[in-house]
Amino acid sequence: MPIKDTVIDIAKKAKVAANELARKSTYSKNKALDLISKRIIQNSERIKEENRKDIEYARKKGLSNAMIDRLTLKDETIKSMAEGLQEVIMLSDPVGEITKMWLRPNKLQVGRMRIPLGVIGIIYESRPNVTIDAAGLCLKAGNAVILRGGSEAFYSNQILGRIIQDSVREADLPEAAVQVIPVREREAVNILLEQEGYIDLIIPRGGEELIRFVAQHSRIPVLKHYKGVCHIYVDAGADLAMAKEICYNAKVQRPGVCNAMETLLVHEKIAQPFLPGMVQMFREAGVEIRGCPRTCGIVSGAKEAKEEDWYAEYLDLILAIKVVSSMEEAIDHISRYGSNHTEAIVTSDYTRAHRFLREVDSSVVLVNASTRFNDGNQLGLGAEIGISTSKIHAFGPMGLEELTGTKFVVFGNGQIRT
């Protein structure tokens, strides 16, 4: 079958499956998740075998070691995929929840009920575990899902897709509730992005380039995660010991992720007592400092930051530092250079804490806590399917609720409009 027909056929089947799946019980959905979880473990040898084909292919293509590492399914990765599904089983089913209900003067009882979104397309890169994680969350929220992983992970994703479909069928859910696109060519993505008659939402997961490509070519709504240029502002009068711990954690604990701090803003009143010790801690952890002129005047050996440093998502042991004259200057800096991802203030001042929370336009804004908490699990949503950096439909980490919408339900007893 030509690629186009294959993809359209998958999209059509997904839509039919979504209608059926929306009415299925929590019990059946959890049963499917449990079966997938068990079968992943039972079939781990087969999975690793298929995965080795991908690794070989990647080696031949000369992919970097880092990419091959992300691609590789070890026993522990497989185990954590299975455990992830068990965690999703424990989350309460959002579908059917009435989130609000009110009475109208004419005695109509009006409520909002959570419903699945329909068909979700996930477009992702090399990590095959996304196949399982995304399928689990979409299924639990009652959505049919079309998975399109990276071509490097082709064989791994195919075997995982087969395991999922076997389990879904056995749990009496429609088989097409989860489909992995069996096409390596990138053309499949373009065709998928045009199926706005069948697909309700696209979630790309990967680097900025992939996300821009998807956003530009999609006729279907896209939940986007661009970059995380995260800031911490250390206010005058902050508890400096607390500030050091938070800033150190935000930069050093895992520098390669989107919620790590990239720029530190420090109020001029505490720059002198705070920065030398802080920078010393960073240096010991191997962090390179790029400072504004005032920062370079206070700490020795810092590189001077260039304009592009304030925009940079380093994802590495590099930190830009700027001394500011006020919280307003800090907020303005964030508004100009930030990415609406995650921002934190360290302060002891009640009024400024609340003002920072209100005025900073980011998906997660924190007082006296590390930026590293921008994560569905850490914030208490359970597993997440990604982080949205735009405000339509979802902003910040997306859990099960963000994979649903709401409809209005109205209980009447004969009301008509006059």
- Contact positions toward a second copy, by CB under 8 A? 19, 22-23, 96, 102, 104, 108, 110, 113, 115, 117-118, 196, 200-201, 215-216, 219, 221, 239, 242, 245-246, 248-250, 253, 335, 353, 357-359, 361-370, 372-374, 378-380, 390-397, 405-418
Q: What angle do CA 405, 133, 99 make, to 5 degrees?
A: 25
Question: Can you give the length of the chain in residues?
Answer: 418
Least distance between a second copy and beta carbon 270 (Å): 16
Q: Which is nearer to a second copy, 130 or 250 (CB)?
A: 250
Position of tokens 């089983």?
89
Contact 341, 309 (CB under 8 A): no
> Residue 334: which H helix or E strand, with range?
helix 327-337
Q: Which is nearer to a second copy, 32 or 246 (CB)?
A: 246
b/e map 182-214, b = 16+ CB within 10 Å: ebeeeebbbbbbbbeebbbbbbbbbeeebbebb
Least distance between a second copy and beta carbon 200 (Å): 6
SS3 state at 178: strand
DSSP letters spanning 230-288: EEEEE-TT--HHHHHHHHHHHHHS-TTSTTSEEEEEEEHHHHHHHHHHHHHHHHHTT-E
Least distance between a second copy and beta carbon 319 (Å): 16
**What is the rounded end-to-end Cα distance, in angstroms, of the chain?**
56
Least distance between a second copy and beta carbon 196 (Å): 8
Please classify residue 305 by burial: count the beta carbons closer than 10 Å to its beta carbon, then call 0-12 exposed, 13-18 middle and 19+ buried.
buried
Least distance between a second copy and beta carbon 184 (Å): 28
- Nearest residue to 337 (alpha-carbon basis) of 394, 292, 404: 292
State the pairing for strand pair 109-116/98-103. Answer: antiparallel
C-alpha to C-alpha distance for 56 and 359, rounded to whole angstroms: 51
Least distance between a second copy and beta carbon 36 (Å): 26
Q: Which is nearer to a second copy, 35 or 387 (CB)?
A: 387
Contact 196, 155 (CB under 8 A): no
The pair of structure tokens assigned to 90 is 């424990």
Least distance between a second copy and beta carbon 383 (Å): 16
Q: Which is nearer to a second copy, 271 or 346 (CB)?
A: 346
C-alpha to C-alpha distance for 168 and 80, rounded to whole angstroms: 20
Least distance between a second copy and beta carbon 303 (Å): 27
Least distance between a second copy and beta carbon 259 (Å): 9
